[in-house]
A and B are shown apart, each in its own frame.
Chain A
Amino acid sequence: MKRLVTSLALAASLTAFSATGVLAADAPSSGPSNEDLLKSATNTEAVLTYGMGPQAQRFSPLTDLNADTVKKLVPVWSFSFGGEKQRGQEAQPIIYDGTIYVTGSYSRLYAVDARTGQKKWEYNHRLPDGIMPCCDVVNRGAAIYKDKIYFATLDARLVALNRETGKVVWNKKLQDYKEGYSNTAAPMIVDGKIITGNSGGEFGVIGMVEARDAETGELVWQRPTIEGNMGTLNGKESTVTGKTNASWPGDMYKTGGGATWLGGTYDPETKSLFFGTGNPAPWNSHLRPGDNLYTSSTLAINPDNGEIKWHYQTTPHDGWDFDGVNEFVSFDLKKDGKVIKAGGKADRNGFFYVIDRNTGKLINATPFVTKITWAKGIDIETGRPIYVDENRPGAPTEGSGDAKGKSVFAAPAFLGAKNWMPMAYNPQTDLFYVPANEWGMDIWNEPITYKKGAAYLGAGFTIKPLYDDYIGALRAVDPKTGKIVWEYKNPAPLWGGVLTTAGNLVFTGTPEGFLKAFDAKSGQEVWKFQTGSGVVGSPVTWKMDGEQYVAVVSGWGGAVPLWGGDVAKLVKDINQGGSLWVFKLPKA
């Protein structure tokens, strides 16, 4: 074999005059275009975008697999990420042209043959010693565009690789990891620009949305998420975000948090990027009176220049780490005989919001968990929460003797009624499928000053389950009414993404190690498979050689074992892992 290869290489170089051998040998396909990415939601032969479409509905039109045939779904192969770097695997695979591109913990990227499971190449990012990821060394996925594949790293860099060879094309610094920045989200490509958010909300960083030229990696625009900070466009200052000091006292907006750590979604119909923003810093809300715009919000951003079109703040003056990064999923709300261009967001604070995606105006907000202590509800007219003031953790100075403020029991817990794990929307059932968790926390405030690169919390906390028999709950939410149509209860907290299909199915993983399928209308469990470690990634489906495939990563980790308090005890015996599982429905 080796002899053959060397002989061929020689022949090719010598027959350069005739050129035929050279061109035929390595003519790579040109790769997905902007148009392909915009239409990726309906492309059943590939999975080109994080969210299975720019709107991130995670809906596949495929019907081969359905509630009846799913029992014949069988594993085809499994691919190990190798090494000792197991930890949490939160990625969603990208599938194109017979290759699966999947990211692993510790900033690794793999290209694997989709038919055989054989590795094509692996990129292993050399991380410096001082990285500061708050919530495990995860990565949520890659982006594909033309001849390149992109992913962000824990030392806050963005790497572009040739998708055929795995060779690095460019490697750009997004932020300084020493100040607490990192990056775990999947990048997004819109109109030739690669768009990223940032992580580091626990370290007093400034949330940022940035667009770069996808070919060169050169910066096009930057939009800070905290009012008072200056944006840039084409290397020049553009506009200030919001109005300085309108909702922040003094200089606190300079370390205000609002990290965009989950990345965003894009709606081609209204040409808007939607980015959720994280908690304000520090956690102790008494230090920063005001709404603290635009933390714990959803921002609609013009992808051409980075200007904010509208914002909706889900938790003004957040005092519970109800970080509002949760994905905003565009969908057509069919209500009272009308179709409204809306978006759905299951917020960490426990409410499911339906918002007009043209204007940012609230249409409806309803609880999707059983217990919410911090607010009685959301005022639909004003769009603001009706606070329960006594449930806000007390100021440290109000405490007697020691500096600790009054502790309160609040629900949801700071890990959220729903955390990072993406929900799915099925336009055939008109339901959202939300991976929720039922837990609360004791939370109190402590004195704090900002120090570059140090955790900027000013709060203590411990998480407690609300019920003995379950924490996780996969819930089908009707966006017209906010009603929970069905639910599946899981003993451990749910931490993986959801997929739904036109075959009336909903897939999600569990920390107990199962990938499970449910009837999308009834919620009845119709299939499960044990992957050997906890599933906290996002499943995808596609069609190849006439058969429907499903892929998901397995590998327990994420924020729960690190921050879960009492809950961590429930999950401490789950074994770690790191692998990609691929299933298919064999031809009859």
Chain B
Amino acid sequence: MAAEAPPPSTEQRKLPTPEEFTEVQESAEFGELRRSYRSFAFPLTVAFIIWYLLYVLLSNYAGDFMGAKLFGNINVAFVFGVLQFVTTFLIAWWYSRHAAAKLDPKAEAIKTRMEGGA
């Protein structure tokens, strides 16, 4: 079996020291990255969980409203359900766009400096 393969090449990457990590963590640049991430991801998480729970509660306790027909056999409940799909796709797209534009460049800069400068 593959367990008999030659010993793996242990990659020896230079890791920054604990002091360097603490220094970076306290830097303004990293603070900016953290804020940029948290202020986007945290409220958005709370928002989509509330939006989902609202949907669950409406389904449970607002039967008449959810059963109201909009056109043909399509009722409010069906539209709300499909809307959950749409918002999920949109939030995923929105977060990814934010991450690519605002987070990746900052993260990349810090990473390159820490790994290269060590």
Is the A/B pair a real complex? Answer: no
Residues of A within 8 A of B (CB): none
Residues of B whose CB lies within 8 Å of any CB of A are none
